Amino acid sequence: MNNMDFAVLAITRDNGMLAAAVEIFQTYWPLFWNGIKITLLIALSGTIIGLAIGLVVGGIRAAAQPDIRDSGAAQVAKRVVLFVTGIYVEVIRGTPMMVQAMFLYYALRPVLGWTPIPAGVVIVSINTGAYMAEIVRSGIQSVDRGQTEAARSIGMNAGQTMMLVVLPQAIRNAFPSIGNEFVVNIKDSSVLNVISVTDLYFQSLSISGSVFLVQETFLVTAAIYFVLTFTTTRILGMIERRMNRSKSSYPASQTVPKMNMLKEEGKK
């Protein structure tokens, strides 16, 4: 233990926990900052990639819902698709991310030769994708079927209807849940310390082991996590309110003209 660590212990004895926590932050802020950067990198990357996975899987699951108008072969194909995608969704949502991290990291390391941080991004992305798939699927199903019928009536094909009409509305409807996944990932990235990802939690463990002040160190860590999640929640709330104002700026009578505009954009 160096003189700096003894100074922290002395402050704890003389001035209490809060003073020690402030001293730990002032002394070790570079380590906390490095942990914050890794945490935000993994949470943001994992959420964005997970959303992309969710858009694909959720869109497929929404489109594969059985319809009485389908032929027998089409119904069988849809059931197979739902079964395969359902396995991914249920297995990932039914197992802890810590277990997934341990299994995927050590199972694929001999093949991919990856390091903890890229592995952490992949693990969070796969985990988030399963949740995003159900969020996107429910968002698609929440879009009024009349929107789809109106788009098809003006000549849009199925792909244009999905990309230009359904998905934008589905994402807007599901945005609170999508944003919540980002907040959850900021906190849940801490489980990646089991594969030695040097995030905020990992750095906090290292600091507490150096100064032997667990409560004081994790008081600082808890405050940092709170600031990160609180700030993120406020930013997402501002974005959601702006999206809602944008939605309300179009009167119902302009639905068809707006779709004509979308159709022209799709041709470009």
Report pLDDT for 119: 94
Name the band, by pLDDT with cuts 50, 70 and 90, for residue 69: low
- Mean pLDDT value across the chain: 82
Helix 214-248 and helix 200-211, axial crossing angle in degrees, nearest 10:
160
Greatest CA span in the chain, whole angstroms? Answer: 79
Q: For the whole model, what pTM was predicted?
A: 0.81
Span 170-217, pLDDT tens digits: 888 888 889 999 999 999 999 999 999 999 999 999 998 888 888 889
- Cα dist from 235 to 44, 179, 232, 240, 242, whole Å: 14, 10, 5, 9, 11
The average pLDDT across 214-243 equals 91
**Number of C-beta neighbours around residue 137 at 10 A:** 24
Mean pLDDT of 207-229: 91
Looking at residues 127-154, what average pLDDT do you find? 84
Q: Smallest Cα–Cα separation from 174: which of 7, 34, 55, 1? A: 55
Predicted pLDDT of residue 257: 45
The SS3 of residue 163 is: helix
Q: Looking at residue 226, what is its pLDDT?
A: 96
Find the helix packing angle between 17-63 and 200-211, rounded to 10°.
160
Of 249 and 145, the one with more pLDDT: 145
Q: Tokens 């001035």 correspond to what residue?
A: 15
Q: Which of 6-10, 49-53, 235-239 has the lowest mean pLDDT?
A: 6-10
**Residue 252 pLDDT:** 44
Q: What is the pLDDT of residue 250?
A: 47
DSSP structure class, residue 198 = -
Based on C-alpha coordinates, what's the Rg of the chain? 24
Residue 79: how many other CB atoms lie within 10 Å: 13
